[in-house]
Amino acid sequence: MDTAALTANARSGHRRWWALVGFAAAVFVAAAIGGLGVSGTAQEYNGLAQPPWAPPSSVFGPVWTVLYATIAVAGWLVWRRAGFGPALYVWTAQLVLNAIWTPIFFGAGRYGLAFLDIVVLWVLVGATVVLFWRVSRPAALLLVPYWAWVTFASALNLAVWRMN
């Protein structure tokens, strides 16, 4: 392999890793938007009437940290295989709905509207899993725990809405 080809490969490799940083940044922004202007969520959560199966507020941070990492890596894996196309458009849409749930639920106290948001989010995460499966099975599998958590969070949102 000549020097020009090696240089091109090195640039391509660096670009791929920078893309991962970009996906991580996009997910970080979504998480940050979810928390902007919404302080005291743990206290608010603890003050709500909740079903007996509701987890303590301390569970959410660690769970979301892991899930956000898998969401970023899954998006990056699909981008590496197929570029930015339909699968990543749906990935982006679900990330937007993810970002606005916290301000709707905690910031505005609109539990019914938050439930609508999370139901649409659940559908989009499922669509993302299906679309990712066609491109990268590991990427799709990385999103399954996220989809399961959104399923649980949807049930919790519904229960809190009904109880409050």
In tens, the pLDDT along 93-118 reads 999 999 999 999 998 999 999 999 99
Query: Which residue ranges in the chain fall short of pLDDT 50?
Result: 4-10
Whether the model clears a pTM of 0.85, i.e. scores above it, the answer is yes
CB 75 within 8 A of CB 89: no
- Tell me the C-alpha distance between 23 and 74, whole Å: 9
CA torsion through residues 127, 121, 39, 32, sign: positive
Q: Quick count: other Cβ atoms within 10 Å of Cβ 97?
A: 21
Whether 49 and 164 have beta carbons less than 8 Å apart is answered as yes
Q: What is the pLDDT of residue 34?
A: 75
In degrees and rounded to multiples of 5, residue 139 shows phi and psi of -65, -45
What's the confidence (pLDDT) of residue 134? 98
Residues in the chain, how many?
164
Does residue 50 sit in helix, strand or coil? coil
Whether residue 124 contacts residue 90, with contact meaning beta carbons closer than 8 Å, is answered with yes
**Which pLDDT score, from 0 to 100, does residue 36 have?**
65
Supply the pLDDT for residue 94: 98
Q: Which amino acid is at 24?
A: A
Q: How much is the pLDDT for 6? A: 41
Q: Is 149 left (phi over 0), alpha (psi -120 to 50) or beta?
A: alpha
